Structure 1
Amino acid sequence: MVYGEKPQTHRIDMNTPSVARMYDALLGGTTNYAVDRDACNQLLQIAPSTQLLARNNRAFLGRVVRYLVEEEGIRQFLDHGSGLPSLENVHEIAQDLNRDCRVAYVDNDPMVHAFGRTTLDENDNTMVIDADMRKSDDIFRATDTFFDWKKPIAALFVSVLHCLADTDDDRDPGAMIKRVAAKLPAGSFLVICQLVSDKATVRTEVTQLMEEATGGHWGRVREPDEVRAYFEGMRIIAPPGLVDVVDWKPDTPPPPPELRATDWVEWGGVAQV
C-alpha cells in the first residue's frame, strides 16, 4: 500500500539535483538526470571516494538486514529515507530469508514514490509512506495496523541523517532518533550511519556544495563523536561497535588502510533500544 500520497506535491523537479537521484547515479543506476550527474561530478572533485562510499553503504545495508533477520529474529523493518529502489531492497533481502517479514519504506521524494509504487510496494507485507522522516507521529499512525507494535521493530536510518540540518526543535536529527527509540517496542533495534569526516575542509565544502545544489535539502557532514551521541542510552552491538561501515560484520576481508577512503566515510552501527 502507498500511504499519505498528496498528488499536488508530487512534481518531479528535473532542474534541481535530488539526493535520492544522486545516490542512484553513484550506484550506477539509471533513475537520474543530467543535473544529478553534474552534481555528483562536483562532489567527486571534493571527495573522490564518494562513489565507493555509496556502494559500501549499500552493502552494509544488506549485511545489517540479514543479521537482524537471522541473528536477532527481527521480522519488522521501518526504513527512513529509503531512497530510490535499487538492487537488493530491504524487503527483498528480508523476505528472502523469511517471507513473513514486513517492511515500511518512508520517503518524501516524488520520484521515490513514482518508482516505489511499482517496485517497493509489491506485496501485502510491504508499504510505502509519503512522509518527511522527521514526521514521526505521521509515520507511527501510518504503520499502526501494519506493524505489530508489541513485537520488535528495526528502525533504519542508513545514510540519511547527513541530509537533515541541526535545529533547536523536534526536527533535529538527535531529537528524532530519541523520539523513535522511545516509541519502539522492547527488543527493537536502531541502525544509524551517516557521512563523517575528520577533515574540516571536506565537511565545509561538501556541506556548502550540497546545500546549494539541492536548494537547501541537505544537512551537514558530521564528525564521528556527533554520530556516537545518537546512540546514547542504547546497547551498541559489539563487536564491531561503531565503525566505518566496511568494518561492520564484513562477509569478505575489509580493505587494507592504503585502499581506504581518506576524505570521508560512512560511519555508524547497530544498537538495541
Structure 2
Amino acid sequence: MSEMIIRPRKGWINIDWAELYRYRELLFFLTWRDILVRYKQTVLGVAWSVLQPVFMMVIFTVIFGRLAKIDSEGLPYAVYVYAGLLPWTFFSNAVSLSGLSLVNQQALLTKIYFPRLFVPTSIVGAGLVDLAISFLVYGVILAVYGIVPSAGIMWLPLLVVLTVLATLGFGYTLAALTVSYRDFRFLVPFMMQAMMYISPVVYPVTLVPERYHWLLALNPMTGIIGAFRSAVLGTPWNPTTLIVSTLVTLVLFVFGLFFFRRTERRFADIA
C-alpha cells in the first residue's frame, strides 16, 4: 500500500490559492473554534473583550489625560484615547496570539495536512468579533458624551481591512519565527508594549517634532490610528502618513505571507 506525502510548495511565490479556497470551510471552523475557546472557563466570558479596552481607557485617562494633561485635540480624553485603542487592542492581541498559534497547535500540525496559514489567520478572524463588540461599546461612549461621529465614518471598513493586513503581516512572520525560535514567546509581549508607545494611541502625532513624522509613519499603526480617529471624530490627519503606513503595511503583509510559506515545510519537524 503506497503512502501519499503532501508537502508545502517551496519558494517565495508558490501559494496555492485554489487549495486555500477548497479549505475555506476549515478556516471558518477554526475561527469559530477560537471564538468559543478564547473565553472558555472564564467567569466573565466575552465581557473581557469589552473590559480590556475600557480598563485601559480609564487608566490612560487618569494618567495621561488628568495628570500628564496630554493634548486630545479639543475632545474628551476618554473619547480620544478609546478611538486609538480600538485598532490597537485588536492589533496587539491578534499579533500576540498569532505568534503562539503554531506552537499551541503543534499536535494538530504533526497529524494531518491542511493549509498552515489558516492557524494564525483564524486567530485574526476571531479578533474581529472582539473589535466589533468594542465598536458597539464606543458607540455608547460617544452617546454618553453627546458626540456625533463624523461623515468620515464611512471609511472605517477600509481602515479595518488595512488593520487586518498589518496584523496578518506581523502575525504570519512571528508565527513562523516562534516555531524555530521559542525566545519570541517572551519577546513579543515586550515588543507590543514598546510599539504601543511609539504609536499615537495615547497622544496625537503633533506632539512629536515634525522632522520625525516620517519615522513614525514607518510604523503601520501610526497612519491607521490617526485615520481611525479622523474617521470617527473628525480630527485633523496627515494623508501622507497614511499613505506611507499603507505601503509599509502592504510590504509587511506580502513579506509575512511569503516568509510563512517558505518556512512552512519545517513546521511539523520543529513544532
Q: TM-score range by the shorter chain?
A: 0.3 to 0.5
Relative contact order higher in (CA < 8 Å, ≥ 6 apart): 2
Which is helix-richer, 1 or 2?
A: 2
Query: TM-score of the superposition, structure 2-length normalised?
Result: 0.33
Larger Rg: 2
Which is strand-richer, 1 or 2?
A: 1
Query: TM-score of the superposition, structure 1-length normalised?
Result: 0.33
